[in-house]
Structure 1
Amino acid sequence: MRILHTADWHIGRTLEGRSRFAEHVAFFEELETIIKDEKIDVLLMAGDVFDSVNPPAFAEELFYESVAKISRQYNLPIAIIAGNHDHPERLAAARKIAQTQGIYIVGYPGVEPLQIPVNGDVLQLAALPYPSESRMRSVFTESSEEKQLRDAYNEKIKSIFQRLTHSFKKNHVRMAMSHMFVAGGSASDSERPIEVGGAYTITADAVPENIQYTALGHLHRPQNIRHTKTITRYAGSPLAFSFSESGVTKSVTVVDVKPEDETPSIKEIPLSSGKPLVRWEATHGMSQVKQWLDEKKDTNAWIELSLHMNETPSMEEIQFIRKSHPGIIHIYPIFPEMKERPATTQKNNLPIDELFQKFYEKQTGGAKPDDDLIRLFMEMIEEEGESN
């Protein structure tokens, strides 16, 4: 059985206001080519289909049309779970109609595994959508011991996986799929920090042992997780969503597995549909930038430019750069007294309330937010984290 593992499509996401729609269209075209060339039997999508719980209409249209086309044209079973960015009910609303076409959509965590017929065999899949405490309420009651929250969460995940896999038979292919943060995974800036780690981290021993492969979503860098009893892997996102992913090769994972093989064969297939995110370091100032622009360097890339200068660049220079390369997203002036651009030295280390105060002062010309306004902002941040 040949299984293609992918995740974290984030359809509808932008990059500082720039649309990524054309790149997502190109990704689905590339995905279809891989399915055809690699003779894929099953497609697993491990969560975060969309970038928000209320995706734009064009994102939903692209998703449903693309998935239906792949399923119909290649007679391919497809299993999809909700990630933390997806609305579980909205994503799974068409599940009954979809399943008649061999498309299995799971919105909320449960304890019934999927049994997917594949060419005369069966894929037993322990499909666990993003298991936040609120989404697991229908499966388990919440722990009242706040200090034991992390351990209680880990035990809940263990218990759910045990219930999902206890009926698995060794004469069928046995897999798990989830959207979560497993300790040991390497995150990037494109995963929102409030959603990674913390109480919603599970340890390697929570991953079930009586399976052959665990397909994960949530982290955007493709990687295997160490210290698990069986192969546990993040497929990564098909597009780079943060400049911290500059230089990271995007890919999908092909898993070759037979019921009797406890260790499947893994192949990583690189993707080329997404534009690369590139960092330019112009240590020789505007002359170097103009040379790169004349050379048409990285014409099909999104650019973060660090521009070394002795004085602040003029508006004419900034406009010239942006008009010459529409893919330039950020321009960070670097002056001799600065060792690196301020964003890397300040942004990641300051508490969020201090960042808000600095932003407010800048926007208002020096006025300081009062305590009530800061408290309201922090409440909004917490509500956003809970809704995601």
Structure 2
Amino acid sequence: MRILHTADLHLGRAFNNMSLEDDHRAILDQILECIILQRVDVLVIAGDIFDRAVPPASAVRQFNTFLTQVANQTNAAVVMIAGNHDSGDRIGSMAIMTDTNRALIRGPLNVEEAPLIVNDSHGPVAISALPFSHEYAARECFGNESINTPEDVVTAQITSARRHLPDGARWVVVAHAFVAGAKGSEGERPLARVGGLETVRPEVFDGAHYVALGHLHRPQSIRTEHIRYAGAPLAFGFDEAGEPKSMALVDLWPDGTTTISTIPFVPPRTIRIVRGKLADLVLAEPSSDFIKVILTDEKPLIDPMKRLREVFSNACGLIYARDEQISTVNATLPPLARINDPIQVVGDFLEHVRNERLADAELALVDSAFDDLQKLEDRA
């Protein structure tokens, strides 16, 4: 069975107040083309379909047009879940009156995590779609007051999903989470409360033949190839400049093993950082890419951005090279938002002292200690 794994479309998002609607249209066209050319059996969208809970009408129309094309021009089944940027109710409403033999669309939590069953010549494949949920909603759904972390939420979903697996079926899990060992970027919104433990251990997904993840924007596998983030199709920050974007084409074999290949996205505009003297940069080839400029001129120049935008129409950041060192020093100081996060402060301090981050077990211990202190303070 052939699965196309995508995630984190973030339709409706802008880059530095510049619309990405045309960029997203090109990306959706490339996904549709891949489904057709690669004869994909199942399209997976692992959350963050939209960039916010109430997306602009143009983004909703754009996605509806895309789904209509998938339905009319291909035979692929569709599995998609709400991410932390989405409204679960909005995504869930798309499931009303859909063909349940061909689509599994999950918005709000459900105590019964029934999979979509897709058959090929080698038997059934069960696809469990686990939408993102905050802890308070999961406690209510599963009737379990001990759910306190994102891992507790996913564990409850996985436990329910296992009960619905047909005997002998290959199992695919779709989830939206921060799995321990993965590398994040500037564009992701935290999934846990301030000071809480955000990550989910990979062992939670034991038994699944492929885990299609969303939330992190860099394409990457976690420990083993079968636990994978598709990544976002577009870069949303200059920390992602130059990083390849792709969708994952997954061949699921009769014995449950997988072969994964990546299909590169070709966005109409990329994110780049250029460096040099103003006199040289204004002679460069004109570009509509999103550009951050690092000027190496020693003296300040009068309105250099105006001249740069004559060449780089979407230039949206400028810094002098001489100021980079100051920025680097300032970056080592904890910003105010992080000072209010004691877990982050402890982690930063230990990384500075021993040159490595807190391990998951250490994070859990520190988190537990701060919870105990908070309870003592509440009683006082």
Alignment TM-score, normalising by the size of structure 2: 0.81
Aligned residue for 2:118? 117
Aligned residue for 2:57? 57
2:101 and 2:113 map into 1 onto residues whose CA distance is 20
Superposed counterparts of 1:74-93, under 5 Å: 74-93=74-93
2:332 and 2:339 map into 1 onto residues whose CA distance is 10
SS across alignment from 2:325: coil
SS across alignment from 1:323: coil
Asked if structure 1 preserves the Cα contact closer than 8 Å seen for 2:6 and 2:44, the reply is: yes
1:193 and 1:309 map into 2 onto residues whose CA distance is 38
2:347 is the alignment partner of 1:349: no
The aligned amino acid for 1:238 is P
The aligned amino acid for 2:127 is L
1:344 and 1:119 map into 2 onto residues whose CA distance is 57
Aligned residue for 1:157? 154
- Cα deviation code 1:294-335 (max 9, x no counterpart): x33xx24211111123332212x3211123321211111233
Superposed counterparts of 1:311-322, under 5 Å: 311-315=299-303, 317-322=304-309
The aligned amino acid for 2:337 is I
- Cα deviation code 1:193-242 (max 9, x no counterpart): 566994332112212x222101000000000011x6x8210000111111
Q: Provide closer, same or farther for how the CA distance between residues 257 and 343 of structure 1 changes in structure 2, counting only shifts above 3 A.
A: same
Aligned residue for 2:359? none
Aligned residue for 1:238? 233
Q: How many Å apart are 1:72 and its aligned residue?
A: 2.0
Aligned residue for 1:265? 259
1:351 and 1:75 map into 2 onto residues whose CA distance is 51
Aligned residue for 2:138? 136
Superposed counterparts of 1:32-111, under 5 Å: 32-99=32-99, 102-110=102-110, 111=112
2:282 is the alignment partner of 1:290: yes
The aligned amino acid for 1:270 is P
Aligned residue for 2:202? 204
- Cα deviation code 1:323-377 (max 9, x no counterpart): 3321211111233xx443637844983223899xxxxxxxxxxxxxxxxxxxxxx
Aligned residue for 2:172? 175
Stretches of structure 2 that go unaligned for 5 or more consecutive residues are: 341-380
Q: Provide closer, same or farther for how the CA distance between residues 57 and 118 of structure 1 changes in structure 2, counting only shifts above 3 A.
A: farther
2:314 is the alignment partner of 1:327: yes
Tell me the number of residue pairs that the alignment of Structure 1 and Structure 2 aligns: 337
SS across alignment from 1:138: helix
The aligned amino acid for 1:87 is S
SS across alignment from 1:181: coil
1:195 and 1:220 map into 2 onto residues whose CA distance is 17
Aligned residue for 1:250? 245
Q: How many Å apart are 1:40 and its aligned residue?
A: 0.4
Q: How many Å apart are 1:169 and its aligned residue?
A: 3.3
SS across alignment from 2:98: helix
Aligned CA-pair RMSD? 2.6
- Cα deviation code 1:164-190 (max 9, x no counterpart): 023323543311110011111100111
Alignment TM-score, normalising by the size of structure 1: 0.79
2:100 and 2:256 map into 1 onto residues whose CA distance is 31
Asked if structure 2 preserves the Cα contact closer than 8 Å seen for 1:334 and 1:341, the reply is: no
- Cα deviation code 1:126-169 (max 9, x no counterpart): 2111132133133234647xxx944xx53442232022023323
The aligned amino acid for 1:310 is E
Q: Which stretch shows the higher mean deviation, 268-277 or 238-247?
A: 268-277
Stretches of structure 1 that go unaligned for 5 or more consecutive residues are: 356-388
Q: Provide closer, same or farther for how the CA distance between residues 17 and 195 of structure 1 changes in structure 2, counting only shifts above 3 A.
A: farther
Q: How many Å apart are 1:37 and its aligned residue?
A: 1.2
Q: Which stretch shows the higher mean deviation, 299-308 or 52-61?
A: 299-308
Sequence identity percentage: 29
2:245 and 2:265 map into 1 onto residues whose CA distance is 5
The aligned amino acid for 2:290 is W
Q: Provide closer, same or farther for how the CA distance between residues 155 and 168 of structure 1 changes in structure 2, counting only shifts above 3 A.
A: same
Q: Provide closer, same or farther for how the CA distance between residues 20 and 96 of structure 1 changes in structure 2, counting only shifts above 3 A.
A: same
1:143 and 1:100 map into 2 onto residues whose CA distance is 32
SS across alignment from 1:160: helix
Q: How many Å apart are 1:290 and its aligned residue?
A: 1.9
2:60 and 2:219 map into 1 onto residues whose CA distance is 25
Q: Provide closer, same or farther for how the CA distance between residues 2 and 61 of structure 1 changes in structure 2, counting only shifts above 3 A.
A: same
SS across alignment from 2:136: coil
